Chain A
Amino acid sequence: MSTSTDHGRPDPEATSSGLGSDDRPVSDRGDTVCVIGAGASGLTAIKNLREHGFGVDCYERETGVGGAWNWRHDRSPVYASTHLISSKPFTQFPDFPMPDSWPDYPHHSQLLSYFERYADHFDLRSHIWFGTEVIRVEPAEGERWDVTTRSTGGYGPERTSRYAAVVIANGHNWSPKLPRYEGLEQFRGEIMHASSYKDPAQLRGKRVLVVGAGNTGCDIAVEAAQQASRCWHSTRRGYWYAPKYVLGRPADQVNDSLLALRVPLRLRQWLYHWTLRLTVGDLTRFGLPKPDHRVYETHPIANSQLVYYVGHGGIGPVPDVARFHPYAVELADGREIDPEVVVFATGYLPRFEFLDASVFGDSAGAGRPGLWLNAFTPGHPTLAVAGLVQPDSGLFTLSHWQTVLFARLLQARRDRPERAAAFGQRVRERAGERYSGPVKESSRHWFEVGHADYLRAVERALVELEGK
């Protein structure tokens, strides 16, 4: 079950060379699979591919594993107080549980140590080239791929290696999405995106406006309520703020008890609304806008403290920003406020600058790939994306099963080509399928999936691929 890259660091030099499309030298890596990124999704890709007998070269632009959860990384979006919003059983890899001694919602530093332990436990580091960035991925003959890398920061020569398959696990929470506002350039206060927010000291004693009601926006608003001299929280619409605990148990576990019983969506929504009425109560009483949608229709916000601080006057809910003035911000209702610091918690956009957008069927260049199961590309059976999902739950279980499915697909290409071909056909027919209830079509919800629906779909795909 071993291959040439079994031990020690991968060494493309050691394999035979050929020439690439524009006569560049290309070292041929045989059956080896390339994984881009050593965040959670990349790590589980390496592990599962190895477990299925494939050689793996992983390229990671940073010098450590953990991706977004490694706060030392210059693109890490986590801030000092980041805790998980999905509870442990939903967040851990299904075959490597987090320790019993950890709390229900671990801190980001615990998550980093979890990924480091995962990498050591399964001896993954010897397959990772750290400090190496992938700058180009191009299709080559025989459904293989030419991957061009260079050291992070652009030093040193470029080098191209040919791989049997590629897993893209570059994450989608690092390229800030900044909204455009009239007058923003003239604004004299400080402006930052949530990705550069690290520590509550950045807000201490200041008048702060937080824009956006994702989980991050709500977390930062809660911190501002405790640190800043004043905090406004601007949201475009009303949201459901779900507590992290109901009935003394993590809310997602209670919810999944209902899912396991296959309680229909309508009834779950009704139960949820009813629970929220009992625990959080009528949000409009707090001056928060009334939600314009039912729960489960947008990404859930798990925050037990936001409503509490609104109730204590620490957070002032305000509507959308209309325009900026040099010393003030004008709101949609005509009011003007005068923050010193504006934090845009307005999300991230996925970026694949190393890949021609047309490979993903995104010829318009809108940035949204057309994939099946958010992972498989029509017409490119040896390419997969891992972790490009925004689940209503933890992400790592999903990346795990995505990469297991890809490893089995690669095995099937070798052992049962007719099965692999049927899979390819399904990818073409079903690209773009959604796995959640009726969600809004904004870029914020492009990758939204309901974890139960999504995992069932992956399970079906596995059974169809392997069926006797």
Chain B
Amino acid sequence: MRGREWSRPVRPARREVLSAVPQLEEGRPPLLFVPGFGHGAWAFAEHWLGHAASRGFPAYAVSLRGHGGSEPAPEATLRAYAHDVVQVAAGLPRQAVLVGHGAGALVVAHALARYPARGAVLVAPVFGGWGVLGAALRRNPAGTLPAVFGGPLRLSRGQLFSRELPDEEARRYVGRLGRAGRRAQWALLGEPEAEPAVGAPPVLVLGSPDDRVVPASTLTRVARRYGSAPLLFPGMGHDVMLDARWAEPIDAILDWLEKEPAGH
């Protein structure tokens, strides 16, 4: 019963969707990339979309409302973000694989309860909880503390990228970061448990043991929840899709999809 959801449907918002599709349709499932808080679809358009397309996977990235080129939405909730993802996924020509990064992985986990995805990939998942907050406070108190009181969350270069990424590039990316809705940020503190995924899709969890936003223990915990172990890429920062060795994780994801029954 979803009486409350039905009687108070999420208000529509204009969404930015960027895409790269292969020249030849090879029957591969479409991928939908969901950026984390503060990031927009641009974060995937930089490298991953084109790379996935070059390997035959139609690739799309959505900017959650209030992010990137989507409509401003300061009061957005986690539910509204999940709604955005499900709307875009259902609009794709075929059953999609959802790929969420950071808090986008939590949004994907919630979307999976409303849309039977072909599969899901959780990249450096930020599932919230006091542990993650504690770690963030320790590493970047000035950027994190205001968020606790409804202010913006500012992630630093050191949290997001490895030293291998040229400084200029890193600064450009950090400059593009926006902020998530206040209510959605707070939702992270409560660690809202997502309902079980519909259609029992295969789920892959990956990240870096050197991620300074998501501790390795979190990666293991999230992976265990989906009955697997995390795939690790040492030496990378939180933003694996923008970091210097961005090709490794996306290739691992695509390899996994090709092997999974869901890949065909």
A→B interface (CB under 8 Å): 1-2, 51, 88-90, 94-97, 99-101, 120-123, 253-257, 259-260, 452, 455-456, 459
Contact = CB atoms under 8 A, between A and B. Distances in A.
Given A94-B114, A96-B90, A97-B87, A2 B7 contact: no
Interface string B92-106: 111100000000000
B2 A253 contact: no
Contact of B95 (A1, A122, A452): A122
A120 B199 CA distance: 17
Nearest to B6: A89
Given A51-B199, A95-B198, A256-B7, 19 more contacts: A1-B261, A88-B9, A89-B5, A89-B6, A89-B7, A95-B116, A96-B90, A97-B83, A101-B12, A121-B92, A122-B95, A123-B95, A253-B6, A253-B8, A256-B3, A257-B4, A257-B7, A259-B3, A452-B3
B94 A100 contact: no
A31 to B, nearest CB: 18
A99 B115 contact: no
B94 A257 contact: no
B7 A97 contact: no
B114 A123 contact: no
A260 B3 contact: yes
Nearest to B115: A95
B1 A459 contact: yes
A51 B118 CA distance: 10
A49 to B, nearest CB: 12
Contacts of B200: 51
A256 B87 CA distance: 23
B91 interface: yes
A425 to B, nearest CB: 25
Contacts of A455: 1
B123 interface: no
Contacts of A96: 90, 115
B86 interface: yes
Contacts of A254: 7
B133 to A, nearest CB: 32
Interface in B99-130: 114-116
A220 B165 CA distance: 68
A167 B37 CA distance: 44
Given A96-B90, A455-B1, A253 B7 contact: yes
Name, among B9, B91, B95, B114, the residue most crowded by chain A CB atoms within 10 Å (CB to CB): B9
B1 A456 contact: yes
Interface residues of B, number: 27
A223 B198 CA distance: 43
A100 B90 CA distance: 11
A277 to B, nearest CB: 22
Main secondary structure of the interface of A (DSSP, over half): helix
Contacts of B115: 95-96
A459 B3 CA distance: 13
B87 A94 contact: no
A365 to B, nearest CB: 36
A449 to B, nearest CB: 14
A121 B91 CA distance: 9
Nearest to A114: B90
Contacts of A101: 12
B7 A121 contact: no
Interface in B225-254: none
Name, among B3, B8, B92, the residue most crowded by chain A CB atoms within 10 Å (CB to CB): B3
A452 B86 CA distance: 24
A255 to B, nearest CB: 8
Given A452-B1, A455-B1, A90 B6 contact: yes
Contacts of B93: 120-121
Given A95-B114, A120-B94, A89 B198 contact: no
A99 B87 contact: yes
B12 A100 contact: yes
14 contacts: A2-B261, A89-B6, A89-B9, A95-B114, A97-B87, A97-B114, A99-B91, A101-B12, A121-B90, A121-B94, A253-B7, A259-B7, A260-B4, A452-B3
B111 to A, nearest CB: 10
A89 B199 CA distance: 21
Contacts of B95: 121-123
A11 B252 CA distance: 37
A121 B94 CA distance: 4
Contacts of A100: 12-13, 87
A256 B116 contact: no
A343 B53 CA distance: 56
Contacts of A253: 6-9
A303 B91 CA distance: 31
Contacts of A257: 3-4, 7-8
Contacts of A99: 87, 90-91
A455 B93 CA distance: 30
A257 to B, nearest CB: 4
A123 B12 CA distance: 27
A97 B86 CA distance: 8
Contacts of B3: 256-257, 259-260, 452
A90 B1 CA distance: 11
A121 B93 CA distance: 5
B13 to A, nearest CB: 8
Nearest to A401: B1
Contacts of A452: 1, 3
Nearest to B10: A100
Contacts of B12: 100-101
Interface in B4-51: 4-9, 12-13
A253 to B, nearest CB: 5
Contacts of B86: 97
A260 B7 contact: yes
A123 B8 contact: no
B138 to A, nearest CB: 40
A93 to B, nearest CB: 9
Contacts of B7: 89, 253-257, 259-260
A357 to B, nearest CB: 34
Interface in B70-94: 83, 86-87, 90-94
Contacts of A120: 93-94
Contacts of A2: 261
B205 to A, nearest CB: 21
A2 B260 CA distance: 13
A279 to B, nearest CB: 19
